[in-house]
Amino acid sequence: MMRILFVCHGNICRSQMAEAMFKDLLKRKGELENYYIDSAATSYEEEGNTMYYAAKDVLRKHGIEPGNHHARVIVKKDYQEFDYLIGMDEWNIRNMLRVFGDDPYHKVFLMKHFIGEKSEIADPWYTRNFEKTYEELRSSLNGLYDYLTQL
């Protein structure tokens, strides 16, 4: 079973959106049972909170169930338990590496890596543009799926 962890700052917008969207994509492809998908934060600020309402709204607009995930913070053992640890921006990557200590198995990726870009997923908490974040995630998650199915 492939294990993937999506990570952002608070785990109430981008990483939870990515988790719900990737689960939906895998379910539509009939492959959800082959994956374990989770999400986490690099900050304690939102620990225990559910997805931000505007993120839920944009997912529902696109026919995706947001789920009932509660924000949690990454821990060192996540590095051993997951095959891919995917950050939404460079700050997430730096904080992930601070927690993990290093990335000897090359498991840590920037989300847009899977579409050949080095840019970051826009943080809708600040931009207030949840639709743009949805579109960036949709493209990147399709790229991730293509990447994983070519392994």
CA atoms within 13 A on the CB side of 83: 11
Rounded CA separation 101/93 (Å): 12
Q: Annotated catalytic, 8?
A: yes
User: Who contacts 14 (Cβ-Cβ below 8 Å, separation ≥6)?
Assistant: 6, 8, 55, 88, 121, 123, 124, 133, 137
Instruction: Write the DSSP symbol of residue 67.
Output: -
Choose among 58, 61, 77: nearest CA to 17. Answer: 58
Locate 99 and state its tokens. Answer: 């927690």
24, 38, 78, 123: which is the annotated catalytic residue? 123
Q: Annotated catalytic, 123?
A: yes
72-86 as b/e: b if 16+ CB within 10 A? bbbeeebbeebebbb
13, 14, 24, 89: which is the annotated catalytic residue? 14
8, 13, 38, 78: which is the annotated catalytic residue? 8
Q: Which residues are catalytic?
A: 8, 14, 123
